[in-house]
Amino acid sequence: MNTVELLLDPKTERRVRHAWEHLAARGEPSQKHHGHPTNRPHLTLAAVGFLTAAAEEELRGRLSGLDCPAVLDGLVRFSGRTHVLAWRVRRVPELLAVHAAVHDVLLATGCEPDHPLLLPEAWQPHITLGRSRQPAWNVPDGRLLPPGLHDRPVRGRFVTARIYDSRTRTATSFPPE
State pLDDT tens for residues 47-106.
999 899 999 999 999 998 899 999 999 999 999 899 999 999 999 999 999 999 999 999
99 lies in some domain: yes
- Say yes or no to pLDDT of 175 above 90: no
pLDDT confidence of residue 116:
85
19 lies in some domain: yes
96 lies in some domain: yes
177 lies in some domain: no
- Say yes or no to pLDDT of 164 above 70: yes
pLDDT confidence of residue 176:
62
121 lies in some domain: yes
113 lies in some domain: yes
Residues 15-35 have a mean pLDDT of 95
27 lies in some domain: yes
The percentage of the chain sitting over the pLDDT mark of 70, rounded to a whole number, equals 98
pLDDT confidence of residue 66:
92
Report residue 174's pLDDT band, with 50, 70 and 90 as the boundaries: confident
Cα–Cα distance measured from residue 165 to residue 153, given in angstroms and rounded to the nearest whole number: 31
Residue-range definition of the domain harbouring residue 95:
2-172
86 lies in some domain: yes
CATH number of residue 54's parent domain: 3.90.1140.10
Per-residue pLDDT of 96-152, as tens digits, reads 999 999 999 999 999 988 888 898 889 999 999 999 999 899 999 989 999 988 889
Number of domains in the chain: 1
The DSSP-derived string for the chain is -EEEEEEE-HHHHHHHHHHHHHHHHTT---GGG---TT---EEEEEEES---HHHHHHHHHHHTT--EEEEEEEEEEE-SSSEEEEEEE---HHHHHHHHHHHHHHHHTT--B--GGGSTTT---EEEEEEESS----S-HHHHS-TTSSSS-EEEEEEEEEEEETTTTEEEEES--
